[in-house]
Structure 1
Amino acid sequence: MSGPSLFSMRIVHLDLKGAPPKISYLSEIFPLFRALGANALLVEYEDMFPYEGHLKLLRAQHAYSPSEIREILYLARQNELEVIPLVQTFGHMEFVLKHDAFSHLREVALFPNTLNPHKAESLALVTAMVDQVMELHGGTRWLHIGCDEVYYLGEGEASRQWLQQEQNSKAKLCLSHMTAVAGHVLAHQPTTTPLVWDDMLRDMPEDLLQESGLPQLVEPVLWDYGADLDIHGKVVLMEKFQKCGFPRLWAASAFKGATGPHQALTPIEHHLRNHLQWLWVAQAGPAGLLQGIVLTGWQRYDHFAVLCELLPVGIPSLAICLQSLLRGGFSQEVKDRVESCLGVASLDTTDFTREGTGCFPGSDILALVTQVSLHLRSSVEALLDGNRYVTGWFSPYHRRRKVVHPVMVQHMQPDVLSLLARWGALVPELEAALQRVFYPDAVEEWLEENVRPSLQRLQDLAQDLAEATASPTA
């Protein structure tokens, strides 16, 4: 494999539609991104952007202010990280179309994910979003306009009628909206090149792509997050796009957030394999066509999904993947460099301990999340479902009636109280660590999804045991 020149741009994706970090954490982590080999950021603001005017209702409760956006851009410049903003303009529009004020612009009335491309108001909406984002990102060389996973396109009533006309197709409908958005960007910012995700374009006929004029307006980002890429298929797709007239292409891998919507810990081996295979694609494809690679780090699968791996949890994976891209493969040199940057004793461990997770910004969150994910649920289940005294003498039947054999209490209670003390001490520590990095709503959501169900089961058992012990029938 030829080495680091395969991807001149190595772009870390910040998905802010879930658990967006505080600016203070970004100030700590940007230098590490740079040290590991990143030279750009793809910032997917979604509802964290400070939209104004009639778009103000799109803001999340803790949306960044304009001054905070400027601070992010300043911090990025300080660390030689070029910022590419991402604005969804077609699919994944849930954060916009969930609002009553914009629900009439849905392609299908029931579903808030896809914009109706037939209405002039739809284009006005997304171009207004683009304009506000671009106003705070003056001089950006690229703007990503999304356009992936445009589900249910063509299924709205207006689309059905349009598709009945001869020679109309879903592909043409898709291309017409993409070209309209991209054309707006270039008309107002001629030095900014729009990027689009490639999935809606992959299967379109070459002649249709050529005739649409889109290849002169945008650069596709080919994304695939699997551990076993179809390398030949990717090369064929690159050649197809090149033949259609796209002058430049980009790749997109994943360092986290692509192995399950409820994933809490990042499977590093999966993501490393994904990146190594993208290196093979870059080597096998047309020379010089791939400009760079976006290392995506999804925080939700969509606006309504639960949180997957938190950013600090995915840092070791990001580090290994970035360094492998930089050095053209995974090697002892990569391993040594990552261990040095993260302060990790060894990358061989999968069950991170407090001592083994390193000293990078957020490493305490990784250590505590690992404890919770690997041990909290299993320890509670082992007590409730595997302890012979609990299952034999304090079953749900006994607990409802507050009845327990006094002799058995001494076999159960120490284990219950010990486990409760252990988790009762760790959870406040985790909450405090999360609060240093994330806003209150993200902290609350993560704890409610990942901690409280198991902890509540344990607390309920302790409470039932205490009440049964105090009962006169005990």
Structure 2
Amino acid sequence: MANLELVLVHLDLKGAPPKLSYLAEIFPLFSALGANGLLIEYEDTFPYYGNLLSLRAAHAYSPQEIGVILRLAKLHHLEVIPLVQTFGHMEFVLKHKEFAHLREVSIYPNSLNPHKTQSRWLIQVMLQQVMELHAGIRWLHIGADEVYYLGEGEESKNLLSATSITIEDIFLSHVRAVAAHVVSAYPGVRPIAWDDMLRGASVYTLTESGVSPLLQPMIWDYTANLNVEDRIALVQKYRQCGFHKIWLASAFKGATGTSQQLTHIGHHLENHRRWQRVVEAVPRDVFQGMALTGWQRYDHFSVLCELLPVGIPSLAVCLQFLKNEASSPYRLTTKPFLCISSEESP
């Protein structure tokens, strides 16, 4: 797609992670179909060590195997962006007894308590170990989506009741701290974060939070009935808040049911058709790229949905659409980007 520098295939490795021999076969296919990058979500398949050794699953890749994956990606001109969860979807960390005290709510292992000093240490060590094996990357995805039960922990409740701070403030403060650490500790690396927890915040709140100079939001919407004008308005809202570059995220599989077995290609193709209309309506310099997500599980404890081999035909259709159909002349049917007022932003 002409307006996108990078088209990423998302590899969700938290369920049925592929063998290296399989990755060696599909990486050249990704490249031939039009992708030029990978968004790799390792979760417990990353070879954590030392104080984080318990995070490492029995079937995790070794450091040498991570090196092979990166060399294969480079060989086939696929830029790698690792994804490390730093707030929500932390089940693979917080399920372990030595980290259970860092949960926002003690009975739920999905969200990190942002108020504890050790939470900050945990995230920094996780990022450090991932960065040790990913020298030279330009972006690092810090997750930050679906931070369920945020504000329901005792420390959050006390803060919310005693001050004028809101749940949005708590979220933005943690994300700002993580992003600032990445920018400071790894010069030249720009953080990316999922945008769903940002959408409800006002332009003023987002602007004043100090988040926008530090990271790039990735707007995700996997629906076949994606509301084009709403997404255009959301892009404009983020631009008003000072986000200089924005990413999009579609889906080629894993987004139509927690136990889905066969991929609905038509659903995913329509999702990309609508994203194309958003891209065509926005100035060329706004978007950095798009990630085609392919979820293996909805979360760490969920059952497997469509596996990667089953979703390859859908990926092929979606990538070829972006490469060929989206480059053909298109008649814009939505309101121009610059004509949308701030009052129309979500």
Given the two structures, how large is their TM-score scaled by the length of structure 2? 0.93
Q: 1:146-194: CA deviations, max 9, x gaps?
A: 0000000000000000111332000000001001111111111110000
Give the whole-Å Cα distance in 1 for the aligned partners of 2:203 and 2:306. Answer: 38
Q: Pick from 266, 280, 285 the counterpart of residue 283 of structure 1.
A: 280
3-state SS, counterpart of residue 282 of structure 1: helix
Cross-structure match for 1:434: none
Contact 2:111/2:150 (<8 A) preserved: yes
Q: 1:77-136: CA deviations, max 9, x gaps?
A: 000000000000000000000000100000000000000000010011011100100110
Cross-structure match for 1:192: 189
Give the whole-Å Cα distance in 2 for the aligned partners of 1:270 and 1:32. Answer: 22
* Runs of at least 5 residues in structure 2 that lack an aligned partner in the other structure: 329-346
Alignment of 1:167-206 (within 5 A): 167-206=164-203
Give the whole-Å Cα distance in 1 for the aligned partners of 2:68 and 2:151. Answer: 41
Alignment of 1:41-60 (within 5 A): 41-60=38-57
Cross-structure match for 2:21: 24
Give the whole-Å Cα distance in 2 for the aligned partners of 1:285 and 1:261. Answer: 33
Give the whole-Å Cα distance in 1 for the aligned partners of 2:35 and 2:161. Answer: 48
Alignment of 1:207-286 (within 5 A): 207-286=204-283
Q: Pick from 135, 138, 150 the counterpart of residue 132 of structure 2.
A: 135
Contact 1:107/1:152 (<8 A) preserved: yes
- The one-letter code of the counterpart of 1:10 is V
Q: Does 2:98 match 1:101? A: yes
- The one-letter code of the counterpart of 1:95 is F
Q: 1:7-40: CA deviations, max 9, x gaps?
A: 2211000000000001111011100000000000
Alignment of 1:29-428 (within 5 A): 29-329=26-326
Give the whole-Å Cα distance in 1 for the aligned partners of 2:298 and 2:125. Answer: 25
Give the whole-Å Cα distance in 1 for the aligned partners of 2:226 and 2:52. Answer: 40
Give the whole-Å Cα distance in 2 for the aligned partners of 1:121 and 1:189. Answer: 21
- The one-letter code of the counterpart of 1:54 is N
Give the whole-Å Cα distance in 2 for the aligned partners of 1:73 and 1:279. Answer: 30
Give the whole-Å Cα distance in 2 for the aligned partners of 1:319 and 1:33. Answer: 8
- The one-letter code of the counterpart of 1:191 is G
Q: What is the Cα deviation at residue 6 of structure 1?
A: 2.7
Give the whole-Å Cα distance in 2 for the aligned partners of 1:80 and 1:322. Answer: 16
Contact 1:91/1:146 (<8 A) preserved: yes
Give the whole-Å Cα distance in 2 for the aligned partners of 1:34 and 1:240. Answer: 33
* Runs of at least 5 residues in structure 1 that lack an aligned partner in the other structure: 332-474
Q: What is the Cα deviation at residue 286 of structure 1?
A: 3.6
Contact 1:118/1:158 (<8 A) preserved: yes
Give the whole-Å Cα distance in 1 for the aligned partners of 2:26 and 2:112. Answer: 35
Q: 1:250-290: CA deviations, max 9, x gaps?
A: 00000000000000110000000001110001111243211
Q: Where in structure 1 do 4 or more consecutive aligned residues deviate above 6 Å?
A: none
Cross-structure match for 2:2: 5
Give the whole-Å Cα distance in 2 for the aligned partners of 1:290 and 1:329. Answer: 15
Contact 1:7/1:325 (<8 A) preserved: no
Equivalenced residue count is 328
Cross-structure match for 1:15: 12
- The one-letter code of the counterpart of 1:319 is A
Contact 2:249/2:290 (<8 A) preserved: yes
Cross-structure match for 1:386: none
- The one-letter code of the counterpart of 1:85 is P
- The one-letter code of the counterpart of 1:29 is I
Cross-structure match for 1:425: none
Alignment of 1:427-438 (within 5 A): none
Give the % identical residues. 60
Give the whole-Å Cα distance in 1 for the aligned partners of 2:317 and 2:86. Answer: 32
Q: 1:313-368: CA deviations, max 9, x gaps?
A: 0000000000101123499xxxxxxxxxxxxxxxxxxxxxxxxxxxxxxxxxxxxx
Give the whole-Å Cα distance in 2 for the aligned partners of 1:121 and 1:127. Answer: 10
* Greater fraction of residues in helix: 1
Deviates more, 1:60-69 or 1:278-287: 278-287
Q: What is the Cα deviation at residue 212 of structure 1?
A: 1.2
- The one-letter code of the counterpart of 2:300 is H
Identify which of structures 1 and 2 has the higher relative contact order when contacts are C-alpha pairs closer than 8 Å and 6+ apart: 2
- Cα distance change on mapping 1:92 and 1:11 into 2, 3 Å: same
Cross-structure match for 1:335: none
Contact 2:2/2:327 (<8 A) preserved: no
Cross-structure match for 1:456: none
3-state SS, counterpart of residue 107 of structure 1: strand
- The one-letter code of the counterpart of 2:99 is F
